[in-house]
Amino acid sequence: MTANQSKSPDDHKFKPRKPSFNFAGLSGEWQGGSAFATAFENSFSMLFPQGEKVFISSVKAFEDKIDDPKLLNEIKAFYAQEAIHTQQHIKYNKLVCKLRGYDLEKIEEPLRKRIAWAQSALSASRILAGTAASEHLTAILADDMLRHKDHFVDADPDIAKLWYWHAIEEMEHKAVAFDVHLAIGGTIKERRQALLFNTFHIFKDVFRILCMMLKHDGKLWSIREWWSGFIFLFIKPGVLRRTIIPWLSFFRKDFHPWNKDNRHLITEWENS
């Protein structure tokens, strides 16, 4: 038996939660009254149902290569968490499109096409590297959200509750795909290339969808909205600016998601 394929802390255990949410606030500008910030968050949600299905399948492709009981347990918890994330974001996405008149099919079609291309053109190991890279991106955004507590300071608390819950679980399983990729002999070159590729396409999709939403709402050409969005993302609170250094850490030769043990943020949130 190959021991210690899991590189997470010895006492780290996690399991899926089964939350319920009130999504009524999705009908308006729930993120601080800002059309841009609201569309930015809603656009991110649109990526999760398709993306998380790929994340699960990419790990399942190599599950038979794993014989560390700890990592196998983490894999099962990862599947369960991602499946519930998918369910909740499907509800979220359908409702926000219904309430605001967005075309969900038009939003999702390019995502499905690129996923189909990736599954036909890329190796299973490279797709798994993409999952590890995407999990790094979501984990550092989650860390920033929970650490600074200013991302949703003026947001509808019922909608913010979903994002905080999702952030907690992204942090908990942040190393699962990474450890599986290490265990199967995946290369650092694959992971680095995947982070560059996935970061570009994730934010390209976010801004494509954001523009569709702002156009539908008659605010695509609002200088005020775009300026407020720039401030939100890069100045105050600067949610993307603050994640640049953590994003770059992925390129270190000795990088592992649990080099930074931030579980105290989970405890703080659960006790709040």
Q: How confident is the model at residue 201 (pLDDT cuts 50, 70, 90)?
A: very high
Q: What is the pTM of this model?
A: 0.96
Q: How confident is the model at residue 120 (pLDDT cuts 50, 70, 90)?
A: very high
pLDDT score of 155 more than 60: yes
What architecture (CATH level 2) is domain 33-271? Orthogonal Bundle (1.10)
Give the pLDDT of residue 91. 98
Give the pLDDT of residue 2. 54
Query: Is 253 buried (19+), middle (13-18) or exposed (0-12) by CB count in 10 A?
Result: exposed
Map out the domains of the chain as residue ranges.
Answer: 33-271
Give the pLDDT of residue 1. 44
Q: Does an H or E element contain 188, and which?
A: helix 188-216
The residue type of 246 is P
Cα 179-175-149 angle, rounded to 5 deg: 170
Q: How confident is the model at residue 51 (pLDDT cuts 50, 70, 90)?
A: very high
Tell me the Ramachandran region of residue 185: left when phi exceeds 0, alpha when psi lies from -120 to 50, beta otherwise: left
Q: How confident is the model at residue 3 (pLDDT cuts 50, 70, 90)?
A: low
Average pLDDT over every residue of 217-242: 97
Q: How many CB atoms lie within 10 A of CB 130?
A: 26
DSSP assignment of 134-158 equals HHHHHHHHHHHHHHH--TTTTB-HH
- For residue 148, which of 15, 262, 13 has the smallest C-alpha distance? 262
Q: Over pLDDT 70: what percentage of the chain? A: 99
